[in-house]
Chain A
């Protein structure tokens, strides 16, 4: 009965409710885009670290878990491999280079040195994994492979500043990994000696097969819990500290501030949505006071009046959120690939459910008003 009444009212006032649904749809688009942007920026920032097959990262001590600031001697990596409780350890060194394209501007990429088949080296989804030999092989992120239409076996030319000169180096693509963005750039992976040879540096002749690392990725064998393992590592190696993966990427410069800003925007949008929906339905109820009074006077129970109001709010909100979600996905699919708006099922589900929930939340006051309507007063008897 409640749904019958609310549906009839919406159906017979289609234009009014459709326009209001559009307002909810616009709020939904804004919230979903903000969520998608947050997810996209976060992914661009952390994708490589998030996908690491590792439990802990070892950093230099007192660098606030900054992968860029952290410097670790290669010997620490060797010693770390002998620590009890480890399944494996992988050295990781970060730098940036440009990838030369045929027709367009060079593309900035994260140039990451790893040891093949250790926790720092991602697996290929196409072609072969990175091998120790031959050198001059590169494993590339699918983002750059798709952008440049590169396949395993092709040559990738990178530009790196050596001393004061920009030098070009050809690398052979051994395989393609899933998306591995890091610091807003797609990533390419080489062995540590190749990395140290081709990374930008002030002295072109200063390179080694055992270069200074940024971090060491640790995979536990499960013998100890991670806290205990961290303590063991800290006791074994000097001047280091460990962090789990989440802490590691959340400690990246600007990451927390960026996500905090986007979450604040999202929160305010939810608040605005709640107030707009609340205001609209409150005005609706005020306009309908005599009608509600009449319904109560002819014997409609309070529960019916309230549930008709709730179901109307839910129907309008649901319709608005469906339109908003559809528009968002259509818009998102037409965006250029370099715009970092990503949608994951979980974040979309949470956002959509929250959007549907704020309707009744915003309408609570109007439902209470409907509940309190006195027939005699409303009918002016």
Chain B
């Protein structure tokens, strides 16, 4: 089965004062349908830059990115915005929700943006929130609910419009361990069930037990890929695995 998301020799170089810095270089990955991938690595390793390029928020310097075989490197700003709202679901670390919209309205926002809002999709949005345990918060404003609940709403919003790719930038950064695990587990379940291609940037390596593959980045390049679930399960939460986020210690 062809991958939903694929990159080939993807790179991003920043230039200033005659100096160039490769934030991301030579990254080639494939993420298939129903596959959930974690991007790990120390700060400055290029995870977020890679995620921004995959989300079409940042133009690459070289290489290609394709979703369902459709390369979007040459899109203009307007086309990229359309691509994002139609094909990509995004959960951020913070500032995820529109503060003056209720939980259900925040989820429905993606439907409205894509002109898919109707009685049937609205019911689906409600069902998704109920599934995420937010049946009592449907009409609550973000300021009236906890961070964990806000992140669950963001997850619902990132999935409601049937995106091909779901991206998450440290979605559990502001949550305690228990809530973080709940959120990522639900996220992983939905990605698997709905056959999306999911990528999550995380610093919390305990969350890797919910993903299918872990890609470790160092200095902008892929340093190591842990492919099998058994390896991930063995390593998750161990000191050995924690060293993934500080690869200089491995050396």
Contact = CB atoms under 8 A, between A and B. Distances in A.
Interface of A: 1, 4-5, 8-9, 11-13, 290-291, 293-302, 304, 375-376, 379, 381
Contact of B112 (A1, A291, A293): A1
B100 A13 contact: yes
A330 to B, nearest CB: 32
B245 to A, nearest CB: 19
Interface of B: 48, 51-52, 55, 57-58, 77-78, 81-86, 88, 90, 92, 94-96, 98-101, 105, 109-110, 112-113, 141, 157, 169
A297 B82 contact: no
B100 A299 contact: no
Nearest to A289: B95
A300 B113 contact: yes
A380 B125 CA distance: 28
A299 B88 contact: yes
Contacts of B112: 1, 4
A297 B113 contact: no
30 contacts: A1-B113, A8-B100, A8-B101, A8-B105, A9-B100, A12-B101, A290-B94, A290-B95, A293-B95, A294-B95, A294-B98, A296-B81, A297-B57, A297-B84, A298-B110, A298-B113, A298-B157, A299-B81, A299-B88, A300-B81, A300-B113, A301-B78, A301-B82, A302-B77, A304-B113, A375-B57, A376-B58, A379-B94, A381-B57, A381-B92
A379 B77 CA distance: 18
Contacts of A379: 92, 94-95
A13 B98 CA distance: 13
A297 B105 CA distance: 18
Nearest to B83: A299
B95 A295 contact: no
A299 B86 contact: yes
A225 to B, nearest CB: 58
A300 B58 contact: no
B52 A381 contact: yes
Contacts of B98: 5, 291, 294-295
A294 B105 CA distance: 15
A11 B157 CA distance: 22
Contacts of B99: 291
A290 B88 CA distance: 19
A378 to B, nearest CB: 8
A301 B81 contact: yes
B41 to A, nearest CB: 15
Given A1-B113, A376-B52, A376-B58, A300 B85 contact: yes
Nearest to B77: A302
A291 B85 contact: no
B115 to A, nearest CB: 9
In the A-B complex, list the 10 residue pairs whose CB atoms are closest, starting with the nearest. Answer: A299-B85, A299-B84, A12-B100, A290-B95, A9-B100, A301-B81, A299-B81, A294-B95, A375-B57, A381-B48
A376 B101 contact: no
Contacts of B110: 298
Among A11, A290, A300, find the residue whose CB has the most chain B CB atoms closer than 10 A: A300
Given A8-B101, A299-B81, A299-B88, A294 B96 contact: yes
A295 B100 CA distance: 13
Contacts of B78: 301-302
Contacts of A375: 57
Contacts of A298: 84-85, 90, 109-110, 113, 157
The residue among A1, A293, A297, A304 with the most chain B CB atoms within 10 A of its own CB is: A297
Given A290-B94, A376-B52, 10 more contacts: A291-B99, A296-B81, A297-B55, A297-B84, A298-B110, A300-B81, A302-B78, A379-B95, A381-B51, A381-B169
B65 to A, nearest CB: 16
Contacts of A290: 94-95
A379 B168 CA distance: 13
A379 B95 CA distance: 7
A293 B55 CA distance: 13
Contact of B92 (A1, A12, A297): A297
Contacts of B105: 8
A380 to B, nearest CB: 8
A297 B100 contact: no
A222 B71 CA distance: 77
Contacts of B85: 298-300
Nearest to A9: B100
